[in-house]
């Protein structure tokens, strides 16, 4: 496309809330063959709420105080849901020490002299804590599209909770439009497989790659690219940044983290997946109307 066409296209994009860095992304977007979507904050709102809490040894509010103390130091969207729930119950959140976050896994810290671990099944297993007793409940929560979270206090399984994140109202339609354009759509997430499949089913995605660590997201993109796919990746989180950079076109959700935006070629200001379809249409128009 001519420099004028690129300028016009970029300007139109800006009016639609699609910020395009440089002419190359605008020229290439119509060539995409696969669109990979992060789940939390991309397909879903990224504003999860605590929906279930089963406490074992301690009363519910006591366990929730300990969990909130740890999550108050985490930046994960799941953490905000837990802290919000504790505050809504009027609980006083104690201070936590020696906080540590393990990306794609969970968090740990010391609260009132006890070691508190919060995360997925793999995280607790790595710390030698069996979650078998809660297997049935965790499966049920996941098939409802909720994310089960396990908690251990002083080396003993203490609670199972679930957090659910509503799907953005436009996700299903945008995904249907991408598929009508002939694109493959893949859901890529660090979340539980069952949870991811439940969310995917609700928005019409059949290809799901779940329980991946941040490095795993890059590996999956490389695998698709190795098969000759031209891949667009849409994401919002710090953990998506390497994959956004690896993609042929990285697309950040504007309400997401700065790191994701910096790693991307395109930013969708409204964070609505219709922006992906619009960016592709804009690219097509730029490359066909003015040669």
Q: Which residues are CB-contacts of 242 (< 8 A; sequence separation ≥ 6)? A: 214, 215, 217, 218, 263
> Quick one: 41 or 148, whose CB is closer to Mg ion?
41
User: Could you say whether residue 190 binds ligand ADP (CB under 6 A)?
Assistant: yes
Query: Residues 263, 252: contact at Cβ < 8 Å?
Result: yes
Rounded Cα distance between 106 and 289, Å, is: 50
Decide: is 39 part of the binding site for ligand ADP (CB under 6 A). yes
| Interface positions, 213-232, toward ligand ADP (CB under 6 A) | none
Smallest distance from the beta carbon of 38 to Mg ion, in angstroms? Answer: 4
Cβ atoms of 254 and 150 within 8 Å: the answer is no
One-character DSSP codes across 16-48:
TTEEE-HHHHHHHGGG--EEEEEIIIIIB-S--
Q: Which of 38, 191, 265, 272 is catalytic?
A: 38
Residues 26, 38, 174, 191: which binds Mg ion (CB under 5 A)? Answer: 38
Which residue's Cβ lies closest to ligand ADP?
A: 190
The Cα–Cα gap between 80 and 262 comes to: 24
User: Alpha carbon 92 to chain centroid distance?
Assistant: 29
Least gap, CB of 42 to Mg ion (angstroms): 6
Give the Å distances, CA to CA, from 19 to 15, 26, 106, 185, 202: 9, 10, 33, 22, 29
Asked if residue 48 binds Mg ion (CB under 5 A), the reply is: no
Q: Is 106 in the site for ligand ADP (CB under 6 A)?
A: yes
Q: Is 227 helix (H, G, I), strand (E, B) or coil?
A: coil
CB 78, min distance to ligand ADP, A: 5
Q: What distance in Å separates the CA atoms of residue 127 and residue 118, rounded to the nearest whole number?
A: 11
Using CB under 6 A as the binding criterion, the count of chain residues that bind ligand ADP stands at: 22
Query: Which of 107, 233, 234, 261 is the binder for ligand ADP (CB under 6 A)?
Result: 107
Considering only the stretches 141-149, 234-242, 260-268, 271-279, report the one whose residues sit in contact with Mg ion under the rule CB under 5 A: 234-242
Q: Site for ligand ADP (CB under 6 A): which residue of 19, 25, 69, 76?
A: 76
191 binds ligand ADP (CB under 6 A): yes
Give the whole-angstrom CA distance, residue 204 versus residue 211.
20
Stretch that binds Mg ion, among 34-42, 47-55, 85-93, 281-289 (CB under 5 A): 34-42
Site mask for Mg ion (CB under 5 A), range 128-167, x = bound: ----------------------------------------
User: Can 240 be counted among the known catalytic residues?
Assistant: no
What 3-state class would DSSP assign to 207? strand
241 neighbors 262 (Cβ within 8 angstroms): yes
Which chain residues interact with ligand ADP by CB under 6 A? 38-40, 71, 74, 76, 78-79, 104-107, 118-120, 147, 149, 189-191, 237, 239
Residues with catalytic annotation? 38
Q: For binding to Mg ion (CB under 5 A), which residues are involved?
A: 38, 40-41, 236-237
């Amino acid at each position: 496309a001519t420099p004028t066409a690129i300028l016009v296209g970029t300007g139109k994009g800006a009016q639609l809330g699609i910020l395009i860095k440089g002419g190359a992304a605008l020229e290439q977007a119509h060539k995409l063959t696969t669109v990979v979507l992060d789940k939390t904050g991309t397909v879903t709102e990224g504003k999860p709420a605590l929906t279930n809490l089963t406490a074992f040894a301690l009363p519910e509010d006591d366990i929730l105080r300990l969990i909130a103390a740890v999550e108050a130091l985490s930046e994960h969207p799941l953490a905000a849901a837990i802290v919000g729930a504790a505050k809504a119950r009027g609980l006083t959140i104690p201070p936590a020490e020696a906080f540590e976050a393990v990306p794609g896994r969970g968090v740990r810290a010391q609260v009132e002299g006890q070691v508190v671990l919060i995360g997925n099944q793999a995280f607790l297993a790595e710390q030698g804590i069996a979650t078998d007793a809660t297997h049935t409940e965790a499966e049920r929560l996941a098939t409802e599209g909720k994310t089960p979270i396990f908690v251990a206090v002083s080396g003993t399984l203490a609670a199972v909770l679930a957090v659910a994140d509503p799907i953005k109202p436009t996700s299903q339609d945008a995904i249907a439009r991408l598929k009508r354009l002939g694109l493959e759509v893949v859901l890529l997430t660090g979340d539980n497989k069952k949870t991811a499949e439940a969310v995917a089913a609700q928005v019409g995605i059949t290809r799901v790659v779940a329980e991946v660590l941040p490095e795993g997201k890059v590996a999956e993109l490389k695998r698709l690219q190795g098969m000759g796919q031209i891949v667009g990746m849409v994401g919002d989180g710090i953990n998506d940044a390497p994959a956004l950079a690896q993609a042929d076109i990285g697309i950040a959700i504007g309400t997401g983290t700065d790191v994701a935006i910096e790693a991307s070629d395109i930013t969708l200001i409204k964070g609505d997946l219709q922006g992906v379809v619009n960016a592709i249409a804009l690219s097509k128009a730029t490359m066909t109307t003015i040669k």
